[in-house]
Homo-oligomer: A and B are copies of this chain.
Amino acid sequence: MRENDFLSWLMSTVPAHPAVPVGIGDDMAVVQFGAGQALLKIDQCMDRVHVDLRKHTPREIGVKAVNRCLSDCAAMACRPVSLMISLALPRAGDGPDDTLAREVFAGCQAAAAAFNCPIVGGDTGIWDQRLVVTVAALGEMPKGRPPILRGGARPGDALIVSGELGGSLLWRQGHHLTFVPRIELAQALASKVALHAMMDLSDGLAMDLPRLCAASKVGALVAGPQLPISLAAERLAARDHLPAGLHALMDGEDYELLFAVAESDLPTLFPAPGAEPFGVRLTRIGTVTEDLKLILLDANDQHHPWPQGGYEHQ
């Protein structure tokens, strides 16, 4: 059973609960709490699965572990309130590998501090196996604003992505280690336009857009030539002779936002050619359709089937 199949199965076994408006399956869960709602996420970084201690420094790994979780906060347009960190630490002699532990935790703290988000809980265990860094986040919505789910895209909506896509994993110091979670962008967007649906791109557009469409019970037409292609994807293409656009579609770990808004909100996002009112490049990549299929349009408006696959951690 592959990872996605397993997650699907896992989801199906969790019974509905009246106090849980949004359970497993969105970027964060939403739970009734006091008079409001708490947003919750857990996410683990495993050595040689999501990160690699042979290539990445412990501090980079700590930063990434926290930022992956904060990227999910961005995807809901919520404010991260607190984080908890659990470390499974390789043994060194008769105790944990001190330097490793300190550096991983320093990375976690630095990433959390960038959003003034306190680390409030921790657990450490020592073993003769590889490193695991597990991060749990608590978030809250600004007053009166609902969390932005994956399931609200409507036929006719424009599909938009932030930043540029592809090639994140190419270099040791690639985007997957250096990205800044789009928390501020998400809050700014939510305050200016009606975000119908949103998620962060962690497994590549090819794998993530179908998730947003499935949750919204819609399809999409995506204009291949419109995809914002990163410099890293261009460089990767020059090396492997695959189209850079394919990398933009298929590569994982962009940690950019994908969202759907009504056409009527487009002037707010794109007031003039080249303008960036939110300080970040935004690109309309397509349109939400009532037809459930996902279709890729080429430069001649010819339809192509949506590419299967995308990035999946083994």
Contact = CB atoms under 8 A, between A and B. Distances in A.
Interface bin, chain A: 35 or more
How many copies altogether? 2
Nearest to A1: B95
A42 B124 contact: no
Nearest to A92: B1
A49 B127 contact: yes
A49 B124 CA distance: 11
Contacts of A82: 19-20, 29, 31, 38, 40
A102 B81 CA distance: 32
A76 to B, nearest CB: 12
B123 A6 contact: no
B125 A50 contact: yes
B20 A118 contact: yes
B31 A136 contact: no
A3 B42 contact: no
Contacts of A313: 125-126
Given A40-B138, A121-B29, A126 B10 contact: no
Interface of A: 1-3, 5-7, 9-11, 13-15, 17, 19-20, 23-24, 28-29, 31, 33-36, 38, 40-44, 46, 48-50, 81-82, 84-86, 88, 94-96, 98, 101-102, 105-106, 109, 118-127, 129-130, 132, 134, 136, 138, 140, 313-314
B33 A33 contact: yes
Contacts of A49: 125-127
Nearest to A5: B95
Given A33-B140, A36-B34, A44-B123, A13 B134 contact: no
A236 to B, nearest CB: 25
A138 B28 contact: no
Contacts of A1: 95-96, 98
B84 A29 contact: yes
Contact of A44 (B17, B88, B96): B88
Contacts of A314: 126
